[in-house]
Amino acid sequence: MTRIEGMPVLFLSHGSPLHAMLESDAARLWAQLGAQMRKPRAILAVSAHWTTGTPMLTGAVSPPTIHDFGGFPEPLYRLRYPAPGAPELAGRVRGMLAAAGIASGIDGSRGLDHGAWVPLMHLFPHADVPVLQLSVQAALGARHHFALGQALAPLIGDDVLVLASGHTTHNLNDAFARPDLLGQSMAPLPYVQAFSDWVASAITEQRIDDLLDWAQRAPGAARAHPTPEHFLPLFVALGAAGQGARAERMLAIGDGPALAMDSWRWHRSAAG
């Protein structure tokens, strides 16, 4: 990857929580990304692991680390990511959403789930950048999340990193058919490959309407995402990046055979 100046927009497939401890391809990518970019003023993390009926923002001064998973090695539960919160930014973001006609709220006690802190442990290992988390609304679809991203796009010019964390494919029934393969980079199942390639083509060619109608147009969509929450952060990233942003597919591997780890970076020019 070439060095890019300015604050990008990221969509990262966060994979198994084990990536917090592994020297995996994904972990190496996240560390490289953090080394490439200048430190942001704050991070807006949109994680698939916080789903609410309406958009919610974390308002805690010191958000706790949430271990929202089970059945993993005990050392994983001892990990903490003690980044400061960003309550002032939460208020600003709520105002930006209101100006776009989107009602939202602030949760003063909610912490950071593993969709946020696992990649952040590698991106910014010193936990010295304030983090604000935004929830997704599984019932509201791609266009709602695209509108969220469009409303938040001005943050990029203020050195706020928009980090959308989900998955290019997310079928846990298929993934846990072979739990011993989680955390390993390997060839994906055929439907995973077909869906990932379609998404990559649509992003590269900026076929936004196709992406917004992904459930009807993408091959294998129902199996790639039996529920949509892990795909919806992508649309926040697309909306925030805006039309004409340069898209770079940084990772195209599988976390086991069913979880596509495709990750994307968008960079807007000074005029974009």
Question: Pick from 122, 133, 125: which is nearest to 47 by CA?
Answer: 133
For CA atoms 212, 250, 7, 44, the dihedral sign is positive
% pLDDT > 90, the chain: 76
DSSP string of 120-140? HHHHSTT--S-EEEEEE-TTT
Q: Average per-residue pLDDT in the chain? A: 91
Model confidence at 269, pLDDT cuts 50, 70, 90, reads low
Q: Which tens digits make up the pLDDT trace of 171-187?
A: 888 877 776 666 666 67
Over residues 235-246, the mean pLDDT reads 93
Radius of gyration of the chain (CA): 17
Q: What is the reported pTM?
A: 0.93
Q: Which tens digits make up the pLDDT trace of 80-129?
A: 999 999 999 999 999 999 999 999 999 999 999 999 999 999 999 999 99
CA dist list (Å): 224 to 58, 73, 159, 179, 184: 29, 27, 34, 17, 19
List the domains of the chain with CATH numbers: 9-267 (3.40.830.10)
